[in-house]
Structure 1
Amino acid sequence: MNEYDKWLRHGLLARSAPADDGRVKALLAGVAGHRDATGQPAMRFRRAASLVLLPYGPGITVYNFVTRRAFPGTATEISVLLAADDWRTEAWLRDRVSIVDEVARLVELNALVVEGTGLAGRDEDYRRRWAWGPVAGLYHFASRDASYEDTLPEQTDGPILFRKHANWNEIPLPEVDETGNLWQVLRSRRSAREFSGEKIGRDSLGAVLFGGFGITGFVEDVSRGSMPLTMSPSGGALNPFEGYVLVRAVDGLAPGIYHYSGFDHSLQLVHGEEIPSAGTLLAGQQWADKAAAVVFLVANFARTMWKYRSAVSYRVVMIEAGHIGQNIQLVATQRDLLAAPTCALRESAIEDLLGVEAIDEAVVYAIALGERIQDGN
């Protein structure tokens, strides 16, 4: 299986999509002199900002990582894309009638966007709001809504999962004193999925959310004023995460999706109508259906982009999700709850339910919570 087929199989490349608002025919009509009511050219088009060229498949693959459309590009099509770095008009195309078919196909394939269409609006959002360039953008957008059908490799022996020191040059360290509640909680934390399906207390849910997202104070910054402090490290104290929770079985709460305010320590209902099961939202992981609640970590990249423009800042935000997730799991362990983290998500479906933006906001992590199955049950 070649790389192109692998990308298709794992959901990284879209196979098909509708034409861009039916404007391709109008584009072709524009060559014949079609104009709007004011006598101006009927439309303008330009290269999508989120294109990359990859040496996969037959020839060069053109990939729009925001819309997830990919196709093997011809030399003529690639030349058109290189030339359409800014808005091009009917007049530009009239002088190049020989490439009309290529332009029409590039519009259909999301490689060229037509001014005034939904795709052009999304492209403009990406240009305006994504500050970390195509390197971080390619990974972030292309890895969303992935397929999770990987099979184990043919070989049975995996890599060694830890390193040992040779006795002849190791330097022993003093034995660690593990007395105290902190060490007990750390040692007890396990990722477990055997939920009983029973309700959990609202106080326990509140404690878990506070441990992950609660604002405990503020520090004054010369340029930005009061910056929030939480119980996990945050690059620049920019706090780029919001917490949402899918509630299935929590005392005193109706089923639904809620936003948690770390400032107010309160919940606000976001979506209370019929909601897909937790297992469906977690990419078919049916074990999550018995969880009492699922916490979603939603990154607000704009907060970090404001100060840090390097693409490495994307990695900083992802690392922060790990800090928050560990706090959530430790508090859950202290409350004798099971906690199971996962990054296997149906991002688009979750974000539609949460009502978050798709360019500079994204759900990146989820932690299912619930009561454990008691002995004898």
Structure 2
Amino acid sequence: MQINPYIFILPKTPTAIVWNYKNHKQYELNLEYSVRLTKLIDDPKIFDNSNPIDTQLLEAEILTDTPSPPINWGWDELSKIFHIGTKNIPCDQMPENADEWASIYLDHCTKTLSTPPPPDRIHKHKADTPLIRLPAPINLSENSLQSALLTRKTCRSFTGESVALQTISTILYLCLGHLNERANNVDESIAKGLEARRSSPSGGGLNACEGFLYAKNIDGLKPGIYAYNASEHTLSTVNTQLKTALGQVLSGQHFINELPAGLFITCRFDKLWWKYEHSRAYRMAYVEAGHISQTYQLVATAMGLSTWLTGAFTDNQVESLLGFEENNPEQVLFFVGCGKSDGQVICRELKSLLNNRG
């Protein structure tokens, strides 16, 4: 007898929640059951078929009499729990054909829409500061997508030269903006209130990701942090005090301090919670952020700028920079920036060290 390797225990007074994250089942154990399980964890050999608690723990698959093969996993337990725990979404009724899928999905959407979706976010910080109207985006129709795809690369050496506000306006609009060009291309399957369309796909069409502009050297825009309002194509002033170097909040990557502009990509988890109850939707948040990041890089590249991106940052410092309150359902997922560069993939400091070793 042994303890199932796919469980974790969450203390939640007055019970202990035993979570089998592989088969998506949870059990509440009172004190008597918790004490017995603790003894079995200490010594599984004391399992007793005549003990009703032991047999119930076995039936619930908290205990197992089948040896489990070693799990091939190179990261920590937390990442393993998340990945395995979001596999194989529980499904009471698996559709056997397209008609059944359509019926089940329609019922799900009808149930979801019985409650209103979370409202669009117009950032409340610096409410005394008027919205900043962005200039009209530049038409990139003559630029080659193939050229942008072939040219795009991650650079780590930026000159600090300023970037035009219209360039930033174009990048924001094509990455996060609600595209006016698609306003008349909405079919009957789109629920009221969810008609807005972006250039990147989004789980459930919810457009859960948002963006905060990091502005250090943008012509016509004071340095600071600005929330991008996708529906209006405007900026709300969030923070005009860039006292901390960008590299300091991005896990010490100080080679990027001269970056003139960037975008913190966030996700409104409350939008995903509204439609998708299962935690697998958490994966979709990062997928959407990845789509937006790639679009940002391609647009910036098409406009003659170099790009850099990272998922390494000190969350609480970034949240403070963005004015997030504790337990905010909007969370920071990624950062991508652009500017003029000498095209070096390796930063000057690292390149110097490598040259000296040679």
Q: Give the TM interval when normalised to the shorter protein.
A: 0.5 to 0.7
Give the counterpart of 2:315 among 337, 344, 347: 347
- Pairs within 5 Å for 1:225-374: 225-357=193-325, 358-373=327-342
**Segments of 4+ in structure 1 off by > 6 A?**
47-53, 137-140
CA distance in 1, matches of 2:17, 2:247: 31
Aligned counterpart, 1:151: none
Instruction: Name the SS for the 1:306 alignment partner.
Output: helix
Matched residues in 2 for 1:293 and 1:303: separation? 27
Q: CA deviation at 1:46?
A: 3.5
Deviation at 1:300, TM superposition (A): 0.6
CA contact (8 A) 1:193 1:338 kept: no
Paired with 2:190 and 2:246, the residues of 1 have a C-alpha distance of 43
The whole-number CA distance in structure 2 between the counterparts of 1:297 and 1:51 is: 34
Alpha-carbon separation, structure 2, partners of 1:48 and 1:341: 44
Q: How does 1:160-179 map to 2 (within 5 A)?
A: none
Cα 1:260–1:359 change in 2 (3 A) is: closer
Question: Displacement of 1:275 after TM fit?
Answer: 3.1
Whether 1:197 aligns to 2:197 is no
Give, in whole Å, the separation in 2 of the partners of 1:257 and 1:47. 44
Give yes or no for contact 2:217–2:261 (8 Å, CA) kept in 1.
yes
Distance 1:270 1:359, change over 3 A: closer
Contact between 1:221 and 1:227, CA under 8 Å: does it hold in 2? no
Q: Secondary structure at the match of 1:227?
A: coil
2-structure distance, mates of 1:205, 1:139: 39
**TM-superposed deviation, 1:324:** 0.4
Residue 52 of structure 1, CA deviation: 8.3
CA distance in 1, matches of 2:209, 2:242: 26
Asked if structure 2 preserves the Cα contact closer than 8 Å seen for 1:278 and 1:294, the reply is no
Matches within 5 A, 1:63-74: none
Alignment of 1:206 with 2:146, yes or no, is no
Looking at structure 2, the residues matched to 48 and 274 of structure 1 have their Cα atoms a distance apart, in angstroms, of 46
What does 1:30-41 correspond to in 2, within 5 Å?
Answer: none
Distance (Å, rounded) in 2 between the aligned partners of 1:374 and 1:338: 7
- Give the equivalent residue in structure 2 for 1:46: 13
Superposed CA offset, 1:204-257 (max 9, x none): 111111121011145465654443100000111100011101111110111110
What is the distance in 1 between the residues matched to 2:221 and 2:203?
A: 34
Task: State the alpha-carbon separation in 1 of the partners of residues 324 and 195 from structure 2.
Answer: 23
Q: List per-residue Cα deviations over 1:60-112 (Å, max 9, x = no partner).
A: xxxxxxxxxxxxxxx99x75xx9xxxxxxxxxxxxxxxxxxxxxxxxxxxxxx
Deviations 1:173-196 (A, max 9, x none): xxxxxxx81111110010111101
What is the deviation of 1:336? 0.9
**% identical aligned pairs:** 31
Number of positions where the alignment pairs a residue of Structure 1 with one of Structure 2: 221
Unaligned stretches of 5+ residues in structure 1: 1-44, 54-74, 83-133, 141-179
Q: Give the TM-score normalised by structure 2.
A: 0.55
Q: What whole-Å deviation, never above 9, does each CA across 1:30-50 have from its counterpart, x for those lacking one?
A: xxxxxxxxxxxxxxx936999
Instruction: Give the Cα–Cα distance (whole angstroms) in 2 for the partners of residues 342 and 198 of structure 1.
Output: 21
Corresponding residue for residue 184 of structure 1: 147
Query: What is the one-letter code of the residue matched to 1:46?
Result: T
Report the residue type matching 2:308 in the other structure.
Answer: A
8 Å contact from structure 1 (residues 233, 320) kept in 2? yes
Q: What is the CA–CA distance in structure 2 between the aligned matches of 1:374 and 1:301, rounded to whole Å?
A: 36
Look up the equivalent residue of 2:155 and give its one-letter code.
A
Higher relative contact order (CA 8 A, sep 6+): 2
Structure 2 unaligned runs (5+)? Answer: 1-11, 21-30, 39-79, 87-142, 345-358
- How does the TM-score come out when normalised to structure 1? 0.52
Determine if contact 2:310/2:335 at 8 Å carries over to the other structure: yes
Contact 2:218 2:261 in 1 (8 A): yes
- 2:172 & 2:18 partners in 1: Cα distance? 38
